[in-house]
Amino acid sequence: MSFHKLLKSKIVGLNEVSRYVNSLRLTGKKVVFTNGCFDILHTGHVQYLTQARDLGGILVVGLNTDASVKMQGKGDDRPINNEDNRAKVLAALGCVDVITFFNEETPLELIKKVQPDILVKGGDYVPEKIVGYDVVKARGGEVLTIPFVEGYSTTSLVQKLKG
């Protein structure tokens, strides 16, 4: 499959995501959802995303738009890579099945559309405090955290490059 076709098959719009995920759900695998900026993809991200997919078999990534990243207050220079480039890099990973953007400060509305079986965030979160916890638990799903890979973070990479 060409890179262009790969991108078209993995990056879907907000209006298409429910239909797309439901068609994948027919395989009998659980749908895992995570979200983030994934600004400068590094080993920690790849390990995290691989572990997330292994929890269910279908991994949906909610990707912050550039405007959404700005709302998080990570700095005027963030994101470093624009949303289209971040999505393309994620789409190239074999562990990522679907990518869709969200423009809000949190992915709550996207989680309601996707209705994942498993909601996952990094180890710095407490499951009960993760946005979407109530939505996923109400339908019998799980909310889990995956430990960070020590020594890897986009913020520390940015600081290292500036230093």
Cβ partners under 8 Å of residue 57, min gap 6: 27, 29, 30, 32
**119 and 141 in contact (C-beta within 8 Å)?**
yes
**pTM to 2 decimal places:** 0.89
Q: What is the pLDDT of residue 160?
A: 56
The dihedrals phi and psi of 75, each to the nearest 5 degrees, come to 130, 155
- Within 13 Å and on the Cβ side, how many CA atoms surround 100? 22
Q: What is the arithmetic mean of pLDDT over 145-149?
A: 84
Domains and CATH numbers, the chain: 3-162 (3.40.50.620)
Alpha helices for 11-82 (secondary structure H): 17-25, 43-54, 66-71
What share of the chain has pLDDT > 70, as a percent?
Answer: 87
